[in-house]
Amino acid sequence: MSLLEIENLSVRFRIKGGWGRSAWLHAVDDVSLSLPRGKTLALVGESGSGKTTAALAAARLVPASEGAVRLDGTDLLTLEGETLRRARARVQVIFQDPYSSLNPRLRAGAIVREPMDALNTPPKAERADRVAELFAQVGLRPEQQALFPHQFSGGQRQRIGIARALATRPELIVCDEAVSALDVAVQAQILNLLRRLQAELGLTFLFISHDLGVVQHMSDRVAVMYMGRIVEEADRGPLFSAPLHPYTQALLAAVPSIDRRRRGRSAVKATGETPDPLNPPPGCMFASRCPRAEALCRETRPALEEKSPGHRAACHFPGPSGD
């Protein structure tokens, strides 16, 4: 069974306009995903597509408007009180910016300890040993517990962020652009650390990144978001070598480092305007930018359907690029 099952998750934000008007932004719209234990599902898509909001709603850090988020069969969105607190310990987030996500006034040891105090687990007497263990696990020295965040490099700060995320022995970790703020060499070290920890601790990752090179390195499965919806989802191999949705094809075509030979000859270019998210068109959200769009695409929204086993796409005319 999957560790995480997200079912028909939607998040709406009320956006206030001028003259007292307001509108609803469907930041996440009917997203369903499942994530097996010990695996990594990457969420990709351009800025504003809803990746962070979807992940934070799954972790109950942003209120969902609709849907269910089951962790091991328990719907997190309906929990309250003590059961919610215990469930929260099982899902942790590593944020992009280790500069702003760590409290500058706390010593590193206290930063790592904080979630254990907040969630009251493990017992108090065990917390100091647990902090020491976590420092060793992420490759920091014991005496570094006494230092403040500004005394660390960016990579080391992200190690503190990882230790903190691991403090309550979570099963699911959301990595939201966890290496995006780091130099390439440091990125590789942190990614390797994450993979090692995943193998050692059996962690499950929901891995958000706009860097497809990183995603290709880290993921087992990939979901592509566009304007709040999943437009394609597949295992890493088929997603990179035989993407079906023109939006995915355009994303991949924009990354020179990804092997293009296996993807067909011509690169898909997305031109045209992105629709107004507060006033979405009736058809496919990508139609205005899609080189393959026909009348049907502007009239009817395509459902996310399985086009081949395990490969879902929301497109009326899915297929290889360049046809």
Residues that bind ligand ATP (CB under 6 A): 13, 25, 27, 45, 47-53, 210, 277
Q: What is the DSSP string of 86-125?
A: HHHTTEEEE-S-TTTSS-TTS-HHHHHHHHHHHHT-S-HH
What is the C-alpha to C-alpha distance for residues 244 and 267, in angstroms, rounded to an integer? 13
Cβ of residue 120: shortest distance to ligand ATP, in angstroms?
A: 28
Of 115 and 228, which has the nearer Cβ to ligand ATP?
228
Choice between 53 and 92, CB closer to ligand ATP: 53
Q: Interior CA angle at 187 toward 186 and 192, to 5°?
A: 100
Our measurement of the distance from residue 100's CA atom to the centroid of its chain's CA atoms, rounded to an integer in Å, reads 19
Alpha-carbon distance of 134 to 96, in angstroms, equals 20
13 binds, among ligand ATP, Mg ion, none (CB under 5 to 8 A by kind): ligand ATP
The radius of gyration of the chain from alpha carbons, rounded to an integer in Å, stands at 21
50 binds, among ligand ATP, Mg ion, none (CB under 5 to 8 A by kind): ligand ATP
Q: Which is nearer to ligand ATP, 50 or 243 (CB)?
A: 50
Angle between helices 124-137 and 154-166 (to 10 degrees): 140
Residue 210: name its binding partner from ligand ATP, Mg ion, none (Cβ under 5 to 8 Å by kind). ligand ATP
Pick 112 or 224: Cβ nearer ligand ATP? 224
Tell me how far the alpha carbon of residue 315 is from its chain's centroid.
Answer: 22
Closest distance to ligand ATP from the beta carbon of 107 (Å): 30
Smallest gap, in angstroms, from Cβ of residue 277 to ligand ATP? 6
Could you tell me the smallest distance in angstroms from the CB atom of residue 252 to ligand ATP?
Answer: 17
Q: Choose among 176, 164, 172: nearest CA to 42.
A: 176
* Residues found near Mg ion in the complex (CB under 5 A): 52
Distance CA 301, CA 243 (A): 19
Min separation Cβ 185 and ligand ATP, Å? 23
Residue pointed to by tokens 């997190």: 76
Using the minimum distance from each CB to ligand ATP, give the nearer residue, 169 or 210.
210
Sign of CA pseudo-dihedral 41, 6, 31, 10: negative
User: Which of Mg ion, ligand ATP, none does residue 10 bind to, with CB < 5 to 8 Å depending on kind?
Assistant: none
| Residue 145 near which of ligand ATP, Mg ion, none (CB within 5-8 Å, type-dependent) | none
Is the CB of residue 89 less than 8 Å from the CB of residue 168? yes
Which of Mg ion, ligand ATP, none binds 289 (CB below 5-8 Å, type-dependent)? none
Nearer to Mg ion, 95 or 247 (CB): 95
Q: Which amino acid is at 14?
A: R
